[in-house]
A and B are shown apart, each in its own frame.
Chain A
Amino acid sequence: MKRIGVFVCHCGINIAETVDVKRVAEEALKMDGVAYAQDYIYMCSEPGQALVREKIKEEKLDAVIIAACSPNLHESTFRTAAEEAGLNPWQCEIANIREQCSWVHSDREKATSKAINIVGTIVQKTRLNESLEPIPVSITKKALVIGGGIAGIQAALDIADSGYKVILVEKESSIGGHMAQLSETFPTLDCSQCILTPKMVAAGKHPNIELMTYSEIEEVSGYVGNFKVRIRRKAAFVDWSKCNGCGLCMEKCPSKVSSVFDRELAKHGAIYVPFPQAVPNKPVIDKDSCIYFKSGKCRLCEKVCEIGAIDFEQEDRFVEEEVGAIITATGFETLPVADLAEYGAGDVPDVIDGLAFERLLSASGPTVGEVRRPSDGTIPKEIVFVQCAGSRDPERYKPYCSKICCMYTTKHALLYKHRVHDGQPYIFYIDIRTGGKGYEEFYHNAEEEEGIIYLRGKVAKIFRDGDKTVVWGTDTLTGRNIEIAADLVVLATAMIPKDSTAELVKKLRIQTGPNGFLSEAHPKLRPVESINSGFYIAGAAQGPKDIPETVAQASAAACKVISLFSRDHLEQDPAIAWVDEDLCGSCRICISVCPYDAREFDEEKGIVIVNEALCEGCGSCVAACACGATQQRNLSDSQIKSMVTASLGGG
């Protein structure tokens, strides 16, 4: 019989407070097959791991069970330790007595007997565990980065600089994202364009980066190291290989379309580039606003284009690519002002959002950096900034803090004061949150030196009265209600994930949290990985964050990809499904239940086989198999049966 060692972790007081760990070890020692049992305060620490290694040798153990936290956290830690002591890693099992016991119970007596029971079931499993070898899988050393904002650009550059190929896919016709819209950036007030555009150019020119702008992900299949991606290259109706970017077509186009880039504060033609510093600097035709596409007449752009780059017949193309890792950096958008009913529901012209105000401040914006309000183009003398417009409001809008608004609103008020010296900015806030290097100092200076009036309270209502925009708010420090007849109101609207993200994550099969932001594998220790291997996340698609944090996360995600690519091959967990060929009745139910397309019918053998590279070991086919032909390694029917018996208190 196998000699099994059981090691019970206190996890500080996380487990020991609720579970009598000494008794768990005592009881474990009485179980069939258990040759050694011991508790220790931090089993994952070096002395803890040393204890495991030492006892494997001393006690001649054939297998070990670590009764501790979830296997998600430290299974690989302890399997490595076991391997170092000469055991096959699959002879090391975790009994989860933290997440599934101590953290969810308060009765010490009952929790202790449950912990003993959990250990008992794992002992049953371990007795029948086979020694396994990992399955080697090849890697395609090319990355896909989805989203061409600052996060995607940074990640692509870092991977490309280390010598690997990258495909950078962007939905719009130019990379740059929201950062390209910003005027100056907090807390140093360096111009956003000046620090971003060189990176855009670098990404556009890098020999290892293939830019696919005006493109969208259509389909993703495969697995870590070996993804197949189908990409839709949307019809631009301009042959970019011919276009020299002269811009004559855009000058002559008679259509007028509100510019999304300029937050509808300016117009461009139906053929346009979103902004002059675009990369690539090639125009696209917006089919919905083009006179030719609507009425069959015009084609003025075609006439003026001397090199014949306009192509009305162009259609969407599809390309297939193979990549080894995918970074999702799809960024954010902001809660539409139209959704904020109490703030005028988008019907008050001089109520705009923070991004629109960035365009008013930007030297390349529609007002060339002069602060002029949308309704009549006059310079506002009183501006009210409203923070938390839709954030920190669980009853009506978003429950979370959008994190960047305290800082950018202070920056807005400050830049406004620098442009309009006799102007008066007011800021309504709930709290001022300035965690970040140099942030508090920036706010402090603005508040003390720049004459900005900070009012602590929420704004209840905003409406238009003549040419004024009236703001009703409250100042909770004086307890008074406040009415300001402002010339312009700027709402710091909540950051939300891009609406296309929801559709994309379905194709990628990665997870999002309750507010639609991408989920990380571990909130502290694995912040740039998705739980599904081979997928990485970066930037505001994961949650509200500012530029420094976005860039740091993008580089971290790139680093994870580079470390993946630095290996010769990947190792796939062998604890997956296998088929007893004599028993398979080829009913193919397993094919229909497999969520990973890992089951396929083998014409020659006449049975259904397992694609070991695709199988994730979920067990669906094992449960579905009518004749018991499909079994899971180290979770066989006999193992499960003896585990159930043990958990019900039987021997």
Chain B
Amino acid sequence: MAKIAYYPGCALNERSSHLDRSARDATVRLGFELDELDTWTCCGAVPPVSEERVMNLIAPSRILKDVRDSGRDILITICDFCYNTLKRTNYSIKSDEITRKRVNAFLADDTPERDYLEKDDSLWEDYAGEVKVIHLMEYLRDELGYDKITESLRRSLNGLKIAPYYGCVMLRPQNEIQLDDPENPSIIEDFVTALGAQSVAYPYRTECCGSYLSVSSPEASTRLCYRILTSARNNGADAIVVSCPLCFYNLDSRQKAISEAYSDFTPVPIFYFTQLLSVALGVEFGRQGFEKHYVDVTPVLDRIGINTGLGGVE
């Protein structure tokens, strides 16, 4: 089975381990394996937007260089923040010679052997952006092909009305990310359709969930998430699908606060796209990590005849 270099990132290692596990389960059924890097560090998360010129790029550059040095040229990520950080770092290194020199000077200096050995005869090769950073959904669309997913379906999601939610960092800035049109994307809609489910159009799919305001100004995030969830619900969605762990956190966990703040609010279940994939490809229930959700997702699956045997649903 083809093995593709895979960078999980911090969230998928811990809080969003269900995103990680359902992705691994699903991809094996699609004929390839997510091959986690032997060693990896934090991607840096927010630093691409900082004013800092070098330090913010070191952690992601080190990860990318390791992938290149291991002889591979594709790196899959799933978390939108990791994807954004790694891809934009790669873009800067590739397109700006000064950045490339600064980063490599730092990385070279940082290599332990070169510090400790008197004579270093290992060849240093600058990292020049050779690795292609790919979002798992991008891989499914462009490398595997959505029709391949449709051919491999084991459970039908027909009847499930799903509202795609894009958030911010998956698509922006467009000239660096180039995954889809940030104003009118279709990659998640097409994914939902490939699974046999129905995608729901609503205006808030590319609006902000509040991101890190969740920490500094939770009520702002509560207000934004309320609008997103209500708009999806009013347009007929049974559930929302996301790929970003922070979006998931805001849209799912925050529904407790939303219910307290808005009396007319009806909860909306949130899926990771890999969970829907895992269900549709026939992975046994219990492995999707539905128990980690604040809003129970099993009733909507039950309604379309998918009995998970979880959450007290027959």
Contact = CB atoms under 8 A, between A and B. Distances in A.
Interface string A146-160: 000000000000000
A4 interface: no
A103 interface: no
A42 interface: no
B203 A461 contact: yes
A470 B203 contact: yes
A463 B184 CA distance: 11
Nearest to A465: B203
Interface string B168-195: 0000000000000111100000000000
A626 to B, nearest CB: 40
B263 to A, nearest CB: 22
B277 to A, nearest CB: 27
A345 interface: yes
B228 to A, nearest CB: 14
Nearest to B235: A465
B184 A345 contact: yes
Contacts of B182: 341
Main SS class of interface, B: loop
A463 B183 contact: no
Contacts of B181: 341
A572 B266 CA distance: 82
B183 A342 contact: yes
Contacts of A461: 183, 203
Chain A interface size band reads under 10
A463 B201 CA distance: 10
Contacts of B203: 461, 463, 465, 470
Main SS class of interface, A: strand
A406 B98 CA distance: 44
Contacts of B183: 341-342, 345, 461
A345 B181 CA distance: 11
A470 B203 CA distance: 10
Contacts of A342: 183-184
A312 B268 CA distance: 61
Nearest to A338: B184
Contacts of A465: 203
Nearest to B174: A396
A599 to B, nearest CB: 44
Contacts of A345: 183-184
A470 B184 CA distance: 16
Interface in A341-390: 341-342, 345
Nearest to A462: B203
Contacts of A463: 203
A513 B181 CA distance: 27
Interface string A450-475: 00000000000101010000100000
A323 B184 CA distance: 49
Interface string B201-236: 001000000000000000000000000000000000
Nearest to B231: A465
A39 B167 CA distance: 67
A377 B183 CA distance: 29
A470 B182 CA distance: 19
Nearest to B175: A395
Nearest to B182: A341
A386 B181 CA distance: 21
A463 B183 CA distance: 12
Nearest to B203: A463
Nearest to A345: B184
A399 to B, nearest CB: 15
A60 to B, nearest CB: 59
Nearest to A342: B183
A624 B181 CA distance: 49
Nearest to B183: A341
B289 to A, nearest CB: 34
A311 B152 CA distance: 55
A358 B129 CA distance: 51
A202 B183 CA distance: 48
B272 to A, nearest CB: 26
Interface string A307-342: 000000000000000000000000000000000011
B189 to A, nearest CB: 13
A457 B182 CA distance: 21
A341 B184 CA distance: 5
A463 B182 CA distance: 15
Contacts of A341: 181-184
B83 to A, nearest CB: 21
B59 to A, nearest CB: 29
A113 B203 CA distance: 64
Interface in A458-517: 461, 463, 465, 470
Interface in A545-588: none
A470 B231 CA distance: 13
B202 to A, nearest CB: 8
13 contacts: A341-B181, A341-B182, A341-B183, A341-B184, A342-B183, A342-B184, A345-B183, A345-B184, A461-B183, A461-B203, A463-B203, A465-B203, A470-B203
Given A341-B184, A342-B184, A345-B183, 4 more contacts: A341-B183, A342-B183, A463-B203, A470-B203
Interface of B: 181-184, 203
3 nearest interchain CB pairs? A341-B184, A341-B183, A342-B183
